Amino acid sequence: MEIRILNGKTIAAEAGKSIYKTLKDNGVYLVSSCGGKGVCGKCRVKLIEGSARIESTGKLLKKEIEEKFALACKTIPEGDVLIEVPEESKLIIGDKIALSKTKDLLEYLRAIDPALTPTVRKIVLKLTPPSIQDNTGDLERLKRALGEKGIHDMVFSHAFILAMPKALRGAAWDVCLSYTEKHEAIGLSAVCKAHHYGVAVDIGTTTVVVYVVNCADGTLVDAGMTYNSQMRYGDDVITRIVYATEGGGLQDLRNAIVNDVNDLLAPIIEKNGIDVEDIDSAVISGNTTMTQLFWGLDPASIREEPYIPTVNNYPVWRAGTARLKINSQAPVYTMSNVGSYVGGDIVAGVLASKMYKNPEVALFMDIGTNGEIAVGNNDWMMTAACSMGPCFEGSGIRHGMRATEGAVESVKIDLSSFEPSLGVVGNTTPSGICGSGMIDAISELFLSGAIDQKGKLRRDLGTDRIRTGEEGPEFVLYRGERKDIVLTEVDIENVIRAKAALYAGVSVLLKEVGLSLDIVERIYIAGGFGNYLNVDKAIMIGMLPDLPKEKFAFIGNTSIAGAYLCLLSGQMRREAEEIASKMTYMELSVSRGFMDEYMSALFLPHTDIGLFPSVKGLYKK
């Protein structure tokens, strides 16, 4: 039995396996926001030839079913089939790599830690060769040479001692010893090479970014980015925890992420002619679940009350334990977590933003599937996470997609004719709408009076852009030959819920410390989404607080920036640990105040328009 993909591969199909699973097992990935449960409707394929058992048609429209579209995860071939995979169902990585400004970071680093202090140090030792008269053991001989340099507390592992005799003799007793900052010996070589490298890794729920850095001078050698392959098992953290715990898939998830990192590293290593053994340190940054999965730790307790992670402050384990394909003895430093829902990526972000160094009160927001917020200054810091849902990444939105080619990323709606003009990533035919496009569209619809404060579309405007679709009222953003791109009332509700969660999180955190918004001097917006966000529009819908535009700063992927800083500096690692221990975590899911704030924020821009003075009077009633 075979599955033939139109203009693509032919894959052997196993009886009883869904098209989605067969494709996935053969390296063809489909968008699967629900992890293959048949509820998100994102894995649509067209069944051109052959017969198949269709277990559910989930979110498919009547018209789509007539056109022979099926959910790949709920369709099981009953013989040879020919399918077409539409563009929007394919999982594709965008071509933009979120390179932080490493030059600026390096300058900053040089100012506070001029020597650069990666986790690995090197020392040249000249040992007296053994003789009949001096029959001291190899290890004791090495310790003696170290003692002469004032180092008396070196720790030696079994693996190190196994390799030691050969290395000492091979180098004629004139050796370069590599050791960690905690004084654990990790390797011996004949010479201390001028160059050695480190790897900074940001494991995002959606994307993985790797920096390869020259640890001798701090320069960025190369970088790579890919989708987190764990997405095969679900888009969000909770679906993956369920897969790890109830589906027995912990090893699948671990292998997926470790392979992603290794697959990113391999071409960089080859292209830059780097000896794998010379990559002798690594730093991992990610949310609490991502780092636990990276290390193969069962994430079950993260999801169960009282929501406790297995580790907040990770021991420094070795690359061999992590299965990273670099020097197996390389220490792997993991950014400390604050708690189950505020992880090392946020600690890295706060570190990179430098907000913990200044007396002015700043707000840090990392906007993704989860909205993580931190507020504070050099004296105190509070943090919380609010679940925004994956709508800004395209899930749960009728024509939602990530900000890749074909995504509507900006929308302008004529105030009298309601005709939209669209900005599309890659200037091509639109195939869906991404987060920034949704925010734009909703703010424009609101501004023009096409939707009311509750996000309901008005039907009495005399425009055919507003119509009733299979899921209820919708606004037609684009009329296509094959399909129209619409924003439904249900989509608008989803976005309103997400923005309300973020705004309520900020309000509750500030209230908890007895401060009001005007005390906030700076707002740092991190995360991939931040790169495309239009502040005015986000304020218009009540997602961001109504503060002067100049207070907002987009700081990109701060998780990788923080990892980079910690890769190169012991002081940065200490400061990151201090940030993690200093942050007071607030669990919003059990906060009564949060629910009240959330309910008030379920309007455009807010029930209390007084909180949005710049929006007041702008929109048509």
Nearer to ligand FES, 90 or 126 (CB): 90
Nearer to ligand FES, 43 or 347 (CB): 43
| Closest separation in Å from C-beta 302 to ligand FES | 23
Nearer to ligand FES, 35 or 224 (CB): 35
Question: What angle separates helix 489-512 from helix 592-600, to the nearest 10 degrees?
Answer: 130
| Closest separation in Å from C-beta 350 to ligand FES | 35
| Closest separation in Å from C-beta 231 to ligand FES | 10
Residue of 461, 480, 481, 483 lying closest to 470 (CA atoms) = 483
Distance CA 279, CA 326 (A): 6
| Closest separation in Å from C-beta 38 to ligand FES | 5
| Closest separation in Å from C-beta 243 to ligand FES | 13
| Closest separation in Å from C-beta 432 to ligand FES | 15
Nearer to ligand FES, 38 or 77 (CB): 38
| Closest separation in Å from C-beta 74 to ligand FES | 6
Nearer to ligand FES, 232 or 465 (CB): 232
Is the CB of residue 489 less than 8 Å from the CB of residue 473? yes
Nearer to ligand FES, 41 or 344 (CB): 41
The distance in angstroms from the start CA to the end CA of the chain is 60
Nearer to ligand FES, 28 or 363 (CB): 28
Nearer to ligand FES, 239 or 336 (CB): 239
CA 448 remoteness from chain centre: 35
Is the CB of residue 365 less than 8 Å from the CB of residue 503? no
- Tell me which residues touch ligand FES (CB under 6 A): 20, 32-34, 36-43, 58, 71, 73
Nearer to ligand FES, 20 or 446 (CB): 20
Is the CB of residue 308 less than 8 Å from the CB of residue 250? no
Nearer to ligand FES, 205 or 558 (CB): 205
Residue 310 token pair: 């297995």
Q: Residue 445: enclosing H or E segment and its boundaries?
A: helix 435-448
| Closest separation in Å from C-beta 207 to ligand FES | 19
Is the CB of residue 571 less than 8 Å from the CB of residue 113? yes
Query: Which amino acid, residue 397?
Result: I
Is the CB of residue 552 less than 8 Å from the CB of residue 525? yes
Q: Residue 508: enclosing H or E segment and its boundaries?
A: helix 489-512
Distance CA 165, CA 16 (A): 56
| Closest separation in Å from C-beta 527 to ligand FES | 24
CA 576 remoteness from chain centre: 19
Q: Degrees (nearest 5) of the Cα angle 408, 410, 413? A: 110
* Largest distance between two CA atoms of the chain: 104
Residue of 590, 33, 586, 34 lying closest to 341 (CA atoms) = 586
Nearer to ligand FES, 54 or 300 (CB): 54
| Closest separation in Å from C-beta 233 to ligand FES | 11
Is the CB of residue 576 less than 8 Å from the CB of residue 336? yes
| Closest separation in Å from C-beta 236 to ligand FES | 12
Distance CA 602, CA 597 (A): 9
25 vs 17, 80, 88, 257, 291, CA distance in Å?
Answer: 10, 17, 20, 16, 24
278 vs 193, 282, 324, 570, CA distance in Å?
Answer: 8, 12, 13, 20
